[in-house]
Amino acid sequence: MGDLAIYPGTFDPVTNGHLDIIQRGAEIFDRIIVAVASSRNKNPLFSLEERVEMLQKTTARQGVSVESFDGLLVDYARAKGARVIIRGLRAVSDFEYEFQLALMNRKLNPDMDTFFVMPSERYVYLNSGLVKEVSRLGGDISSLVPDEVLNKLKAKYNK
Ligand code: ADP
């Protein structure tokens, strides 16, 4: 199919759900740039550098690269020469927000299209916020995040 797609997000931290989307995307597109937004307004637990590093360590495969970006996604995508944005869709609850975002991005750049990818049902209930909360309270998240992230979370919460 197309050559290059951008998969943007906060990735605070990357979970097996994100990795599932990246893997599915990598089977369709020749190249994927995982674009980590600084998302300062969301007060991330991990710094931008830490989020990029965790992704780099867990997505090492041909055709997938990780970068950070600031500002408007459509401007970043245009600068990279990408016309496709990948987003994950878990449940109906994701739909309204993602629908608005996709149409706003198309308004800002009419050449831009958003591709929605559904993860394996194993990861449908998973999000970064829940993973942080369960980890903070000492719950077992070893099947939900890569080891790299598990260790980083343990270190953050001294568990
Ligand atoms: P954002 O701040 O942009 O929502 P996230 O890192 O939370 O950043 O999510 C990035 C993208 O990955 C979004 O499209 C989100 O719907 C998707 N995503 C997050 N968790 C999962 C999951 N478990 N399965 C599938 N997609 C997911």
Model pLDDT, residue 91: 87
| Share of residues in the chain with pLDDT > 70 (%) | 98
Task: Identify whether 90 is a catalytic site residue.
Answer: yes
| Share of residues in the chain with pLDDT > 90 (%) | 92
By C-alpha distance, which of 98, 117, 102 is closest to 19? 117
Ligand 1 atom, smallest distance to 16 CA: 23
pTM metric for this prediction: 0.95
Model pLDDT, residue 61: 86
Task: Identify whether 18 is a catalytic site residue.
Answer: yes
How does residue 1 score in pLDDT terms, banded at 50, 70 and 90? very low
Sole residue written with tokens 């495969």: 61
Residue 112 identity (one-letter amino acid): M
How far is 96 from 102, CA to CA, in rounded Å?
Answer: 10
| CATH 3.40.50.620 is right for the domain spanning 4-124 | yes
Q: What's the gap in Å between 17 CA and the centre of ligand 1?
A: 8
Q: What's the gap in Å between 86 CA and the centre of ligand 1?
A: 10
Q: For the residues 70-82, what does the mean pLDDT come to? A: 96
pLDDT digits (tens, 9 = 90+) for 3-31: 999 999 999 999 999 999 999 999 999 99
